[in-house]
Chains A and B, each alone.
Chain A
Amino acid sequence: MMSAIARPWLRLPHLLAIYFAIAVGAPCAFFIIYELVALLRSFEGFQDHFVSPVALLACVVIAFLIVPYIYGQLTQKKDKQETFYSPELATELTGSLIASLSFGLYLREQSTYAQMHEQMLKQMRFMIENAEHLSLSDEHLKNLQALLEHPRSDADLEYRALLTRFLEKYQETHLDDQS
């Protein structure tokens, strides 16, 4: 009876590894599907998403590491599962932990960039609304026009559209002032 009670708790590290791998693997699968859909959409002309090949590759690698591991854990002989600790288990747990941490850091970086982009858009909308009150130097105007000529990603399309509107409005209002 005591060994039967202890058995599930001795399998706890393996259960933890399986559930953890599933918890990390599911968002990766979700992300892969999302990126693939975005990639297909961009081929059809919907240029509203920037596909990150590095993140996609990382997720595919994680998925290929995790899926065989879960399969191996579920199909291996039961007597092996009763081992409390094994170097393989430690390796898999460490690998999954590093993968999820790096993915979290990647998310953080991308989100910071998205927030900066949102701030730039807000600033540009404010500049459009107040174009007639602004006074920009020639050098500043040249810099803004240079931004239009060097697009970095699909995410910049909205910014470029706003910038174009601002420059047009600025030139209209200031031409009126000069005339």
Chain B
Amino acid sequence: MTNPKEPLPLWAQLGGPWRRTALTLNELAAHLTVIFGLLGAIKLGQWVLFFSASGSGELIFFKGSQFQFNAQWFFDAADLALLVALLFLGVGLTIWTAVKGEHK
């Protein structure tokens, strides 16, 4: 039975920060994989929608006499929401991993 107040061996102390860094980068990599995958899927969907509907890069939606609504705004909103979600959820969990050593 080891004493919990007893200091860790030198190799464990030296390896601790590297272990935390690896785990943190691993957590971040998982989030970035999902984010880049989704951003790619959104871009692909946008490309298919725009070019199948209009054959050009512009898609006007709900054109009124004083105002027009571009379908591009939906995709911009999705991109922005993903980046904000990454900022809060991804970065939050990554910092949590860095602080706690591993996210439990």
B22 proximity list for chain A (CB < 8 A): 5
Whether B19 and A26, one on each chain, are in contact in the complex, defined by CB atoms closer than 8 angstroms, is no
The answer for the CA separation of A9 and B85 in the assembled complex, in Å, is 18
Contact residue among B23, B71, B81, B86 (Cβ-Cβ distance under 8 Å from A26): B81
Size bracket, chain B contacts: 35 or more
A23 part of interface (Cβ distance < 8 Å) = yes
Are the C-beta atoms of B45 and A19 separated by less than 8 Å? no
Count of residues in A whose CB is under 8 Å from the partner chain: 43
A118 touching B69 in the complex, CB below 8 Å, given contacts A1-B19, A7-B102, A25-B81: no
Given A8-B27, A22-B85, A30-B77, the answer on whether A48 and B64 have CB atoms closer than 8 Å is: yes
Other-chain contact of B35, A19, A49, A78, A117 (Cβ < 8 Å): A19
Chosen A-B contacts, 20 in total, with CB atoms closer than 8 Å, are A4-B26, A5-B22, A7-B102, A11-B30, A12-B30, A12-B33, A16-B34, A18-B85, A18-B89, A19-B38, A23-B38, A23-B78, A26-B78, A107-B59, A117-B63, A118-B60, A118-B63, A155-B63, A155-B64, A158-B65
Which positions in B face A, CB cutoff 8 Å?
19, 22-23, 26-27, 29-31, 33-35, 37-38, 42, 45, 49, 52-54, 59-67, 69, 71, 73-75, 77-78, 80-82, 85-86, 89, 102-104
